[in-house]
Amino acid sequence: MPPVPLELRFLLCQRRVLPAGQCDFSPVAYKASAHIVELNNMFGQIQSPGYPDAYPSDSEVTWNITVPEGFRIKLYFMHFNLESSYLCEYDYVKVETEDQVLATFCGRETTDTEQTPGQEVVLSPGSFMSITFRSDFSDEERFTGFDAHYVAVDVDECTEREDEELSCDHYCHNYIGGYYCSCRFGYILHTDNRTCRVECSDNLFTQRTGVITSPDFPSPYPKSSECLYTIELEEGFMISLQFEDIFDIEDHPEVSCPYDYIKIKAGPKVLGPFCGEKAPEPINTQSHSIQILFRSDNSGENRGWRLSYRATGNECPKLQPPVHGKIEPLQTTYSFKDQVLISCDTGYKVLKDNVEMDTFQMECLKDGTWSSKIPTCKIADCGAPAELENGVVTFSTRNNLTTYKSEIRYSCQRPYYKMLHNTTGVYTCSAQGVWMNEVLGRSQPTCLPVCGQPSRSLPNLVKRIIGGRNAEPGLFPWQALIVVEDTSRVPNDKWFGSGALLSESWILTAAHVLRSQRRDNTVTPVSKEHVTVHLGLHDVRDKSGAVNSSAARVVLHPDFNIQSYNHDIALVQLREPVPLGPHILPVCLPPPEPAGPAPHVLGLVAGWGISNPNVTVDEIIGSGTRTLSDVLQYVKLPVVPHAECKTSYESRSGNYSVTENMFCAGYYEGGKDTCLGDSGGAFVILDDASQRWVAQGLVSWGGPEECGSKQVYGVYTKVSNYVDWVWEQMGSPQGLGELQLLVVQVLSLLFPVKGISKDKEKAGKLYDDRGEKNSGKLSNPIKFLSSTQNTYLVCGIPKFSRNLLARIINGRPAQKGTTPWIAMLSHLNGQPFCGGSLLGSKWIVTAAHCLHEVPDSEDVTLRDLDLLSPSAFKIIMGKLRRTQSDENEQSLSVKQLFFHPLYNPNTYENDVALLELSRGPVLNDFVMPICLPQRPPEEGAVVIVSGWGKQFLQRFPETLMEIEIPIVDHHICREAYAPLKKKVTRDMICAGEKEGGRDACAGDSGGPMVTLDTQRGQWYLVGTVSWGVDCGKKDRYGVYSYIFHNKDWIRRVTGMSN
């Protein structure tokens, strides 16, 4: 094992790592005959000759101490007693280096304090120290001499180095016995191991304008560097260079630019070198491709240079905007590659080559001509409105105009049809050339049948069907006569039943009417070919005004029991919809409630059943004949309490069961009842609130006695138990018609109020609508915006609806009020720098990277960065134009910043931050919060991104811009960025198009990416603009901070639920 170096052994012994036997550093013993003593230990002791006895006269001893390079020598005295003299000319101790006297001492330490060392420590500048003791010829007082100690100490070359030529450029790192240098991020250590240079040979500029500077400008540029800047533009451009006032490159008074310089190569020409303090005059290179070489040597502290370049080309003629149109940007001159966007005023479309479009782009060509002629602006034309089924359309504008702002009105054929959603039916021709309704948008209204409202009023007093009275035509317009002819049944192959019209295509009846009449107990529906339905029929002898229809489908309830008649309900779908009129109208269905009709309520039943009260059921069945009444008859019957009905049938002989799916109606004394041929007919009750007739029951069965006998109640299927099943068979509640499901309930809205809202001066009507709906929610729900405490904020429902978008890179201006949640982050001087979104009443969500400086290395953390102070910027809500003031804008101050705890400023992971406002904005039509997501968006879902970032001309737009782009599969996005060594993590979400053309860009950071929840009718926040490479280029998707991934953190910080 090699020996341990002396300096290392000294340190190891100080820390008690080595055993005591290896730590003997005793000083060399003094020998009287030696006048020079060489010492190379790391520490030791020096004493005057004979110490502690008196030192001899006329003696001189020198101790030369040498320690390794990188160390210094510290000397201090424990005892000092020498003869005192003026300037120490007699006896003295002298401490010196090879070329410098460090100190001279003499005298007694108790009396001669100015000449003795006392507590002073002598420190050598290097690794050598010489100590000389001299005494003269006399020593009368017997002075005892001195006792001194020395120790080697490490030199901090980083702070104590005097040789500037050997100092580090950027960072110096000291270690025991030496030091080393390192450089800032982006720099490389030169071969001299102390100078920092930059690697700057791959700078390529392809934009038409730009700024180029020396590294670290305006701070001193790095030494020993060679930078190459290339400007490469399309042929046809000429590049001009303009150096700015600050120009400082090391020079020589006699020789031209021998140290540092700039050279410019433009084709075969080489311009320069340039150096000194005077900037070159403007340079027109006459070339579309140039190289700028900047070189520096290993010395100097000069500030460098800055230049701006601009590409020019042939100018194109000045453009004149089309009538009702505008040109953006509108400039006095245009040159090669300048692009303009032609758009039209609201209500007009760009027309080019007979093709309508929202915008049209033109470009100035190399030869000084435009790529196309100026298009015209044509007023938007919605065209002839589509016809409305069961309705008509009329023009409200003179001359039947169909252009922008023209109006039409749809109306349904009353009184048989009613418009769904209670809309006015008024449509206006929109600026996009589409007929639009304020409730339905571009969707056409729907005319649904009106139920339960016969064109003739039913009388209050009626008799009976058994001995009852004839119905007048139109009193029961829902009544259907069902004829079944089944040749498989012997001997009776034809029978009749009744039903009720539910819509233009559906009949409700009893299941036993449509069961194939077999001798066994199987439940098999008759074939649809054997069923004929007659509607609008009054007198069976005169069918001139009736409508006959065959069946397209026969549906029995799957649980129908032929023995107990439980679940005795069925549906017939007609082959063709029947036309509605005064004699053919549907009946209403009850709400799906198990209670059914209340006891003792009176209802009506109509039918063509057996009208002879002296014919028994057995006689009819036995004789094989069926006698129908010629004219439709009806009777009024009361609902019988369920318990009374059950008791009535339980007292009879036979197996009769009145289940919870049935109810009874009739009189105890008899005389009024339904009978054979009435089966399946509707038991209807008038709803007092709506004045509509509701089918509460279907004629099902009765006792074996004569129809209308005493204590024999008719049994009816309770329809309210089967409304859900009816919906399921017909497809949806809408298939039943606007009011087929009649829900009569009271909705009470309680509004506790405390205090007065100062921003409201008057109150208006909250809600005005009839309580007739075909689903469990109101068609015009009321939502509130309020700044008071006991109300809930509305999010994501702007008052102004947006149109379909074109293409922030190739996007289109946002319409006023369509993005009320967007926030502008602005410096106090009014310069915007990022976007954000309003959450709740006083929170802004934005990108975390908007709130700190750009990192200068790859391994920084948030605590290493210079963060924006809340007082250094402001939030502006209600903003539409970038630099000009808007009448609806509100300026707000920031109280506190919250960064995501896992935010990584190097990779942009969890790039999200929250800003708490000092006070919340006043919510109105132009300022509203966005909703937090309830679920992740679907892949391919379309999102909208908003911002004031750079556009296709690399200019910032004056107006807020929007784009509509799809969500991109995470794997596809990750693979697209893998070659660039960019990580797309799970807290990020991507959007854009593979071919490019539409993207967010510089200045959009932190802005919202939103999508519409079509079920809720609300917009919610999908992401915030985070990062990307080459805005709008092919295979360069925009990367956004994924809000759904971070919503739990947002809710914890803000205390919001949604």
The residues that are catalytic are: 849, 911, 1005
CB of 346 within 8 A of CB of 432? no
Cα–Cα distance for residue pair 666/662, rounded to 1 Å = 14
Angle value at C-alpha 669, between 666 and 675, nearest 5 degrees: 45
Write the DSSP string, 266-284.
ETTEEEEEE-BSSPPPPEE
Residues contacting 784, CB < 8 A, separation 6+: 791, 792, 794
Strand locations in 353-390, DSSP E? Answer: 355-357, 359-363, 376-379
Q: Helix %, strand %, coil % for the chain, to 5?
A: 10, 35, 55
Type of residue found at 594 = P
Strand locations in 866-912, DSSP E? Answer: 873-877, 890-892, 894-899
Cα–Cα distance for residue pair 764/108, rounded to 1 Å = 105
* Alpha-carbon torsion (426, 430, 432, 437), positive or negative: negative
Say if residue 507 is exposed, middle or buried (CB neighbours under 10 Å; 0-12, 13-18, 19+).
buried
CB of 64 within 8 A of CB of 38? yes
Q: What does the block give as tokens for 277? A: 């303090």
Pairing of strands 682-687, 602-607: antiparallel
Closest CA to 716 of 569, 526, 573, 615: 569
Q: What does the block give as tokens for 261? A: 């310089």
DSSP state of 999: -
Cα–Cα distance for residue pair 355/369, rounded to 1 Å = 23
Closest CA to 515 of 742, 688, 679: 679
Q: Of how many residues is the chain composed?
A: 1058
* Alpha-carbon torsion (526, 529, 531, 535), positive or negative: positive
Q: Which residue has the tokens 């020789």?
A: 255
DSSP H/E element including 6: helix 6-14
The DSSP bridge partners found for residue 1018 are 1013
The DSSP bridge partners found for residue 700 are none
Answer whether the bond into residue 1008 is a cis peptide, omega within 30°: no
Spell 910-928 as b/e; 16+ CB within 10 A means b. bbbbbbbbeebbebbebbb
HSE (side-chain half, CA atoms, 13 Å) at 227: 26
3-class SS of residue 157: helix
CB of 145 within 8 A of CB of 30? no
The DSSP bridge partners found for residue 1019 are 1012
Cα–Cα distance for residue pair 274/281, rounded to 1 Å = 11
Q: What is the dihedral of CA 887, 888, 889, 890, to 10 degrees?
A: 120
CA 155 to chain CA mean position, Å: 58
The DSSP bridge partners found for residue 401 are none
DSSP state of 342: E
Q: What does the block give as tokens for 509? A: 């009846």
The order of strands in the sheet holding 101-105 is 36-39, 60-66, 128-134, 92-96, 101-105
Tell me the chain's radius of gyration from C-alpha atoms.
50
Cα–Cα distance for residue pair 201/205, rounded to 1 Å = 12
